A and B are shown apart, each in its own frame.
Chain A
Amino acid sequence: MNGRGNANSLLQDLLVGWYIARGQATDLWRRNDSRRQRVIYGLLALLVFPTVLLLIRGGHSLGVRSRTGIDIEIIAVTRNLLVPGLIAFAILGGLGGAQSLARDPVQSVLLTSAPTRAIVVGKFLYFLGVWLTPMGFLFVPVLAFAIGARSPLFPVAVFVFIIPVLVLTLLIGHTLAYLLWVGIEQLGLPEYARRLLTASLSLLLFVLALTGGFLSGQASATADELPTADPVTPLGWYADLLFVGSPLGGSLGIRPLFAAALVLVSIPLVFAVQVRIAPKFWYASPSRSRGVDDSSVSGDAPDFETPPSGTIGRLGGLTARSQLLRVARGYVTGALRRPDQYVYLLYYSMPILAVILPVALESPAALPPAIGATLVIGGVWVAGALFCLNPLGTEGAMLSQLVLSNTPGKTFVHAKLLIGSCLGLGITLFGIALYVITGPFVTPAFVLVVTPLVGGVVIASSAFALGIGSALPKFETSEVFDSVETLVPSVVAALVHGTTTLLLTGTAVALAALVTAADSPVSLTKQGLALGVFSLVVVVIIDGSRRYAVARLESYGREQTGVGRVFTIYAAAILSLMAVVLGQSVGLSVALVVGLDRPVGLLLPILFVAEYVGYVLVALGFLYVTRRGVAYLDIAWPSKRDIGIIAGGVLASVGVWVLASVLITGLGLPVADHPLFSAEDGDPWLLLVLVPLMLFVNAPVEELLYRNVIQKYVQEWFSPRIAVGVASAIFALAHLPAYFDSNLPSVAVTLSLLFVISCLWGVIYVRTASVLIVSVVHGLYNALLVSSSYIMTVT
């Protein structure tokens, strides 16, 4: 049954290629499919969803405008930009694809079973799928444009014509990459030198593309218009095909059709070249064909046992005594011996270069302070990126040994935190110094404030990297810049870390500027409060992430039951924060879909419900990830006796409110109004609309999250009393955004009232063990409040 009947038919090779691609894609999909990953990716998708909706709206309105004619000559510009864009795509694509065989665990069976042409097809199809899937989202605004422009043919044309040109581009990129690497193999360099060489080549290409793009952009900027002349290369005319069927008027003229013919003829030619070259690369290097005992998996395992050498002197004596320093030294030594495993750091230099290069080209005098400023963020990033972003994965085969060793897990985590922070601090402080010395004048006060703030951010970056890296660990070797086989961190972890620390750094600098400004628009109290809150956030990030990383390391390989006592409180706070943020994001998405120009009577209830969808998702996500499941929910139907409890609970809640009102008026304390009670000026009917929503949405959802998830979760580790207090504090703080505009004392008074009432509900939940009962109390209380507000407004 050897299937070699027509072993050389192209059709068969294409089919086998499809099987190969399907296998690798299935494996990729399944490897990223743990419960935690699913939920994190889902939450991130919901967070960016408003952006997608904005794109759709933009595409749609552009489409509508195009019907009446747009003054920009889109087709002429596209003709000029198409070819440079494709070249950039080819470079990026080539970088990623050529070595995808090396990361394939079945490569030896593949190379000895399937025809070479089928392997080329398979690897290419796999890569095409991986690249085009995210690009598929770009198709959504195109569709929106088509709908706006009422041209159904347009998306079809884009789809049909863009695929061949993208296929050709990626094929060329792959082939060039194969050629390049086969050439580099021929040089006979040692492994690490070869890796560093290929890595820097990629970076060089990036710099060239960036410089070229900037210079051409500048050239067109001086001409004060976009390039609309005839394209330099005949392929540029291909752009016309993409606009066939749109009101912009693409055409199937002779020049576009010639370009299309060129593309169609080139595809088999380039493919044939690749079939010839690819095997030379695959079968060339012995280290590649073995793969299994490649040293990159375990070779960089730190050496903890070697006694420190006497030549280090006093430092040596210190490291001999401190286990932490000994471990840290092990990591540093490992990094110094194999620097090539960190080439992925070059990715971080890309955004930095994107800032520095234009400055260098435009005003070289401003270069030193620009470098200083970018070094500040560079230091923050490196603090996390170098040692901390994949704390479980980089240990490789050593991981199980570390877990079993008598060194506590926190020593390994703290060692990474220590060296990451030290390195980051060094770079960042140098950056600040460079900026202060060479840049425009900054006040000494600003320097004094910004330095500790950014310093804190550096440590937070290191710790946060440990946390997010432990949540999204990566255990398989893969390629960075290709031909660099190493344990790189998860891309999602790196992106979350990069953006979070960028935001933190920006906040720190802005805060320092605000506090030290000569005539600050903000009062001194608020300045102090802002500094306090920021410092608290930094400390919480450091401590929370650190604890999480330690817990994950120590529980590695075991059925995970919890992440430690103290971390539970952080986790509870994070859940609440995620609920609030996600609530906003879902609300924004819904608002964009519904349209903000709807009557407020319709919009308000919709947004109200949408926001709580975010809460429910977070609560359910928690139950799903931690495998607590729906069985965790306490849905006991109220008995007759419970009706008494409900009545008592509502009475007590109202009692607290009345008492607080009396106190507040008596003492002359300020109180903040919830926007719901003040926003709907002139239309008190809206208040009545809110009553059922309070009963059936707001109360059950909030109780689900704050009582049944957060309070119950905290109570797994603490006494009920503490659990009630913690959950209520978080509940009160979660209402902070609602009173954003109010002044400080009134917010404090209002939040205290919320805290007290929440404690009352927490106690009811502990007593009845039913989220339904406490939801009814909460709902009735809110409904009473809103109703009374309605009556007061009407009368």
Chain B
Amino acid sequence: MSPRHEHDGDEYDLARPAIATEELTKQYGDTVAVSDLDIAISQGTVYGFLGPNGAGKTTTIEMLTTLLSPTAGKAHVMGVPVTNRERVKQHIGYLPHEPPVYETFTAREQLAYAADIRNLDVSTSDERIDQLLERIGLLDAAGDRIATYSQGMRRKVGLVQALLHEPDVAFLDEPTSGLDPRASRTVIDLVTEQVRQGTTVFLSSHILSVVEELADTVGVLYEGELVAEDSPTELVDRTESEDGQGTLEEAFLEITTDREHV
């Protein structure tokens, strides 16, 4: 495994943000899905992306992963503009809301496929697949077809698929949804481990406890606009209720309710 951040002379400043957007906007006809988004995420950190359904979280992720072209504004991933699709792809891993897997494949086949389409070295990737499968508790079921898996197991396969190639930036859309507490714990630990090894994680979730635990910074998206951005503790402090015992949940509710009254 080569040291990261040094790829074929494609060296970049460690101080440069892993993800940076400037007035990033996406419009569908008259509907504004994401409006003038400005965020900067440091390398090796976890950014928690919160927001109610339809706030524009997935649209944002799809723009950052090059699946959607922005209507206006700029976005860079590891210093590469998202318009340079081929180079952005080399830096990212993506777990969409619905894990992209062939149901007729076994978990091991699916992960080998993911390694193949990234043209990873077979022997090292096989080793890593085994490691990750064991780490996440799927080793016993790795030979079964994904069609027989539960939602949670599929999500785990999708997560391993997104982290397999040790991406610089991982976009995880709801990585713990459908998982029981123990499985959630495994996933959180795995993500923490990856972050420690230098991966930047862009995490979108409804489950606030996960965000609260993992995220260094939390951004709250509401109707396409970033309405709050801070560390989880700061966010809680800022909206602290009278009894002095705030949670991120209360903070989130307060922020989004405020907006509704505006």
Contact = CB atoms under 8 A, between A and B. Distances in A.
Nearest to A32: B104
A7 B2 contact: no
B249 interface: no
Contact of A5 (B8, B89, B105): B8
B105 A27 contact: yes
Contacts of B59: 286
B1 A1 contact: yes
B105 A110 contact: no
Contact of A3 (B28, B103, B113, B118): B118
Interface stretch (A114-122, A172-180, A215-223, A445-453): A114-122
A675 interface: no
Nearest to B33: A286
B121 interface: yes
A411 interface: no
A110 B65 contact: no
A179 to B, nearest CB: 18
A347 interface: no
Contact of A1 (B113, B120, B161): B120
B116 interface: yes
Contact of B86 (A30, A110, A115, A292): A115
Interface in A101-159: 105-116, 118, 122
B122 to A, nearest CB: 10
A2 interface: yes
B100 A106 contact: yes
B227 interface: no
Contacts of B124: 1
Interface in B106-161: 113-114, 116-121, 124-125, 128, 161
B94 interface: yes
A3 B98 contact: no
Nearest to B145: A30
Contacts of A118: 117
A15 interface: yes
A30 B110 CA distance: 14
A283 B117 contact: no
Contacts of A5: 8
A350 to B, nearest CB: 32
A12 B119 CA distance: 8
A23 interface: yes
B62 interface: yes
Contacts of B90: 2, 4, 7
A626 interface: no
Interface string B74-109: 000000000001100110111011101111110000
A30 B68 CA distance: 31
B2 A1 contact: yes
A286 B68 contact: yes
Contacts of B116: 16, 19, 23
Interface string A344-384: 00000000000000000000000000000000000000000
B117 A114 contact: yes
Contact of B125 (A1, A27, A115, A286): A1
A106 B92 CA distance: 16
B165 interface: yes
Interface centre among B113, B117, B166, by most chain A C-beta atoms within 10 angstroms, is B117
Interface in B163-217: 165-167
A20 interface: yes
A118 B119 CA distance: 10
A30 B104 contact: yes
Contact of B7 (A2, A12, A26, A31): A2
B100 A108 contact: yes
A289 interface: yes
Contact of A279 (B29, B68, B85, B125): B85
Contact of A283 (B58, B68, B105): B68
A622 to B, nearest CB: 26
B165 A2 contact: yes
B261 to A, nearest CB: 30
Contact of A109 (B8, B97, B100): B100
A179 B58 CA distance: 28
Interface centre among B96, B103, B118, B128, by most chain A C-beta atoms within 10 angstroms, is B118
A445 to B, nearest CB: 57
Interface string A501-520: 00000000000000000000
B241 interface: no
A114 B113 contact: no
A114 B89 contact: yes
A108 B94 contact: yes
B45 interface: no
A1 B3 CA distance: 9
A23 B86 contact: no
Contact of B102 (A15, A106, A111, A284): A106
Contacts of A23: 102, 105, 113, 116-117
A15 B93 CA distance: 21
B192 to A, nearest CB: 21
Nearest to A6: B8
A112 B117 contact: no
B233 interface: no
Contacts of B118: 2-3, 16, 113-114
A1 B165 contact: yes
B67 interface: yes
A105 B100 contact: yes
B123 to A, nearest CB: 10
B121 A1 contact: yes
B67 A283 contact: yes
A1 B119 CA distance: 10
B66 A26 contact: no
B105 A15 contact: no
B114 A109 contact: yes
A170 B101 CA distance: 28
A614 B181 CA distance: 57
Given A105-B100, A105-B101, A106-B101, A112 B86 contact: no
A8 B86 CA distance: 9
B105 A113 contact: no
Contact of B65 (A30, A112, A286): A112
Interface string A70-108: 000000000000000000000000000000000001111
A235 to B, nearest CB: 34
A278 to B, nearest CB: 12
A112 B94 contact: yes
A15 B122 CA distance: 13
Given A3-B121, A16-B117, A118-B117, A26 B166 contact: no
Contacts of A4: 7-8, 90
B117 A116 contact: no
B66 A283 contact: yes
A30 to B, nearest CB: 4
Contacts of B117: 16, 19-20, 23, 109-110, 113-114, 118, 122
Nearest to B62: A289
A109 B165 CA distance: 12
Contacts of B104: 26-27, 30-31
Nearest to A29: B104
A3 B120 contact: yes
A188 B27 CA distance: 13
Given A2-B90, A106-B102, A283-B67, A16 B62 contact: no
Contacts of A292: 96-98
Interface centre among A12, A20, A23, A289, by most chain B C-beta atoms within 10 angstroms, is A23
B201 to A, nearest CB: 15
Interface string A263-301: 000000000000000010001101001101000000000
Contacts of B67: 108, 111-112, 283, 289
10 contacts: A2-B90, A4-B8, A4-B90, A23-B102, A27-B102, A105-B102, A109-B94, A112-B94, A118-B117, A188-B29
Per CB-CB distance, the 4 closest pairs between chain A and chain B, nearest first, are A30-B104, A19-B116, A3-B119, A292-B98
Given A105-B101, A109-B100, A289-B68, 7 more contacts: A20-B117, A23-B116, A23-B117, A108-B94, A111-B66, A112-B94, A289-B67
